[in-house]
Amino acid sequence: MIFALLGVASVSHYLVVGAILFSCGVVCMAVKRNALGVLMGIELVLNGANLNFVAFGSNYLAADGRSPLGLDGEVVALFVILLAAAEAAVALAITLNFYNNHATVDVDRADDLHG
């Protein structure tokens, strides 16, 4: 089965890799107690999604072998990377502040907003 998959690289293969990356990110977000770990999970989720964009923007999907604009998926992926960088900056600032206030970066301790 592995070999069958390895036969010819297609969009599906990229999607599978994207899904694995996404799942790894989600699991990382869900199980890491360290806030930095959670941030890393978020990066993984975003990159998984990016991979999907790039895959869907590839020429493989064009009917006549050409995509309408050619670079749609890549452009959106670039946006996502940009946003991820901004998000990481904000998130790291929050984390630092949290650390200053609580002397820890354990997200389980960050339950001040509980009902």
Partner 1 sequence: MAAAQLLPILLGIAWLIPLASFVAILFFGPRMGGHGKGAAAVATSAIGASLFLSLIALVSWTLAGHPVRSGHHDGDHAAVHASDAGQSPGVFRPVAYRSPANNDAAGDASSHSGDHGESSAPIAYSGDWYTLYSGGALRLSIGWYIDSITVLMFVVVTFIATCIHVYAAGYMHDELHDVTDSEVQLNEGGSFCRAGRFHRFFQALSLFCFSMLGIVIAGNLAMVFIFWELVGICSWFLIGFYFERHSASTAANKAFIVNRVGDFGMLIGLMALWGGLGTLHFGDSVNPSTGETQSGLFELVRPAKGHYVQQVPDGMVAFSAADQIGKIAAAQPTASELHREVASALPEWREQGYGKWLLFVAGIGIFCGCVGKSAQVPLFVWLPDAMEGPTPVSALVHSATMVAAGVYLVGRFFPVLTPDVLLVIAYTGGLTLFIAATIAVTATDIKRVLAYSTVSQLGYMMLALGVGGWVAGLFHLITHAFFKSLLFLCSGSVIHACHTNDMRKMGGLLKVMPYTGWTMLIGCLAIIGAGVPFVVGFSGYYSKDAILAQALLFSRTNPQHSILYVAVAGGAFITAFYMFRLWFMTFAGSPRDEHVFKHAHESPRVMTAPLVALAIFAVVAGWTLPGGLGVKGLLEQSRPAGTAYTTTTMGILGNITVPAEHESHAGAIHVTATLTAFATALAGVLLAAVMYFKPLISPVAVAHAARPIYTFLVHRWYVDELYHAVFVLPTLWVARFISAIDTQVIDRFIHSLAWIAKRIASIDAWFDRVVVDGIVNLAGRATWKAGLELKRMQTGSLRQYVMFIVVGTVAIFVLATLLFRTSFAG
Q: Is 113 in the site for partner 1 (CB under 8 A)?
A: yes
Closest distance of CB 34 from partner 1, Å: 11
* Beta-ladder partners of 34: 106
DSSP string computed for 74-111: HHHHHHHHHHHHHHHHHHHHHHHHHHHHHS--BGGG--
Q: Is 40 in the site for partner 1 (CB under 8 A)?
A: no
Least Å from the CB of residue 78 to partner 1: 26
Q: What is the maximum span of the chain, computed from C-alpha positions, in angstroms?
A: 59
Q: Is 64 in the site for partner 1 (CB under 8 A)?
A: no
Q: Residue 12 or residue 34: which is nearer to partner 1 going by CB?
A: 34
Among 29, 40, 54, 88, binds partner 1 (CB under 8 A): 29
Residue 31 interacts with partner 1 (CB under 8 A): yes or no = yes
Which range in 9-17, 46-54, 76-84, 102-110 contacts partner 1 by CB under 8 A? Answer: 102-110
- Surface-to-core class of residue 64, CB atoms within 10 Å of its CB (0-12 exposed, 13-18 middle, 19+ buried): exposed
Tokens of 52: 């999907």
